[in-house]
Amino acid sequence: MQLDQTHVVIRARTLSEIGDLALVLVRHYPIASIGGFLLGAFPWMVINALLIGWMPLAALADGIHDDETVGQLTRYVYLMTLLIILQTPAAGVLTTVFIGQAVFEKTPDVRAAWTDVLRLFRRWFWVLAVARGPVLVICLLALNWGRPLSMTFEVFFPLLILSAALFTRAARPFMPEILVLERCPLKTPAGSNMIAASRRSGALHGPMTGDLVGRFTTVSMLLFCLAIALFHTLLWVRGMVIGNWDWSIWVYLFLFPLALWLAGSVSVLIRFLSYLDTRIKLEGWEVDLAVRA
């Protein structure tokens, strides 16, 4: 580990510089940033397809486009968007570990990153997948599988969970880094000097809450625009390659979720770089690394 020869220069950055650097990381580490994220997202993709994939299949089965078809497709788009927003932090754990290695090590190892993710599975899965809502929403939607729209199971409670999760992520965005990079336990073991994740989260996020919420809001709007741009790009590529410009079942089942997941992969990189920036501003991390080196 080269503390004074990091692949990403450890210094304070503006939000625009963080966005630029995130795209640079995509270019230098495409397998880790995009491939690793899609690998981590694959189980969630399968769950989403089994959970709500029947909606566009049923809506487009007879080839009739009426108000009922539009309503069913709108329902699917809304639920898929909600699920992917909730699932992105958990899906990006592998990318977080690999990029964390890549900052300091010349030859980061995907296998070693995967081993770390599995070893810390209980820790990050409980916080990112259970406590922050994805598993809860999946259970709610499973209760209404194959049935008409339920305001209780598909609107009220999912939106309530999403609102709580977004509020938590806006004020406490760096829990993935705390859990899998700093490896803070959920509870401090007896006789150990390790800092619990909740205590570390308060120390890292507390002084920067206002700035973090502002950044979260700005980045969310930019990612929304990016997802739309990616979706229309995928539609254009599909149309140019096969000559089909219709919004078929493949558009809803594959292209639309893929655009959202790709935008989510960029959000993981932006969050990681914001984590570095926050540690630099609060802890003088660049000075600490230089002294330790």
**pLDDT tens profile 156-198:** 999 999 999 999 999 999 999 999 998 999 888 766 778 899 9
Taking alpha carbons only, the member of 143, 203, 201, 133 closest to residue 163 is: 133
Read off the pTM.
0.92
Residue whose pair of structure tokens reads 């990016």 in the numeric block:
226
In the numeric block, which tokens belong to residue 196? Answer: 């619990």
Q: Residue 64 class from Cβ within 10 Å (0-12 exposed, 13-18 middle, 19+ buried)?
A: exposed
- pLDDT tier for residue 31 given thresholds of 50, 70 and 90: confident
Q: Is the pLDDT of residue 4 over 80?
A: no
What's the mean pLDDT in 135-143?
A: 96
* Close Cβ partners of 7 (under 8 Å, ≥ 6 residues apart): 28, 102, 103, 104, 106
CA distance 132 to 124: 11
CA distance 242 to 290: 54
- Write down the number of H helices and E strands in the chain: 16, 0
Cα 77 to Cα 47, 115, 143, 249, distances in angstroms: 15, 34, 19, 12
CA distance 7 to 103: 5
pLDDT (0 to 100) of residue 287: 65
pLDDT of 230-274, one tens digit each? 999 999 999 998 887 888 889 999 999 999 999 999 999 999 999
